[in-house]
Amino acid sequence: MSPRMPAAGVPRTVKARPFDFAFDPNATALVMIDMQRDFIEPGGFGESLGNDVGHLAKVVGPAMDLLAWARMRGLLVVHTRECHRPDLSDCPPAKRLRGAPSTRIGDPGPMGRILIDGEPGADFVPGLAPLPGEVEIVKPGKGAFYNTTLTHVLTSRRITHLVFGGVTTEVCVQTTMREANDRGYDCLLVEEATGSYFPEFRDATLAMIRAQGGIVGWTAALADVVRA
Question: What is the smallest separation between the CB atom of 149 and ligand TIU, expressed in angstroms?
Answer: 18
| Element of type H or E holding 162 | strand 161-167
Site membership for ligand TIU, residue 204 (CB under 6 A): no
CB burial readout 176-197, b (16+ within 10 A) else e = bbbbbbebebbbbbbbbbbbbb
- Which parts of 60-89 interact with ligand TIU (CB under 6 A)? 82
Q: Which is nearer to ligand TIU, 18 or 106 (CB)?
A: 106
Identified catalytic residue from 139, 142, 186, 187: 139
24 is catalytic: no
Q: Give residue 56's region: left, alpha or beta (phi > 0; psi -120 to 50).
A: alpha
Q: Which is nearer to ligand TIU, 33 or 154 (CB)?
A: 33
172 is catalytic: yes
Name the pairing type of β-strands 218-220 and 186-195. Answer: parallel
- Which parts of 129-188 interact with ligand TIU (CB under 6 A)? 142, 167-168, 171-172
Q: Which residues pair with 161 in a beta bridge?
A: 28, 186
**Closest C-alpha to 165, from 65, 41, 54, 73:** 65
101-108 contacts at long range (C-beta below 8 A, 24 or more positions apart): 101/48, 101/49, 101/50, 102/47, 102/48, 102/50, 103/48, 104/48, 105/45
139 is catalytic: yes
Question: What is the smallest separation between the CB atom of 36 and ligand TIU, expressed in angstroms?
Answer: 8
Question: What is the smallest separation between the CB atom of 34 and ligand TIU, expressed in angstroms?
Answer: 4
Question: What is the smallest separation between the CB atom of 82 and ligand TIU, expressed in angstroms?
Answer: 5
Site membership for ligand TIU, residue 49 (CB under 6 A): yes
What distance in Å separates the CA atoms of residue 127 and residue 3, rounded to the nearest whole number?
31
Q: Which is nearer to ligand TIU, 3 or 37 (CB)?
A: 37
Question: What is the smallest separation between the CB atom of 137 and ligand TIU, expressed in angstroms?
Answer: 12
* Residue 72: other Cβ atoms inside 10 A: 9
Site membership for ligand TIU, residue 48 (CB under 6 A): no
Give the footprint of ligand TIU on this chain (CB under 6 A). Answer: 34, 39, 46, 49, 82, 142, 167-168, 171-172, 197
Catalytic residue annotation:
34, 139, 172
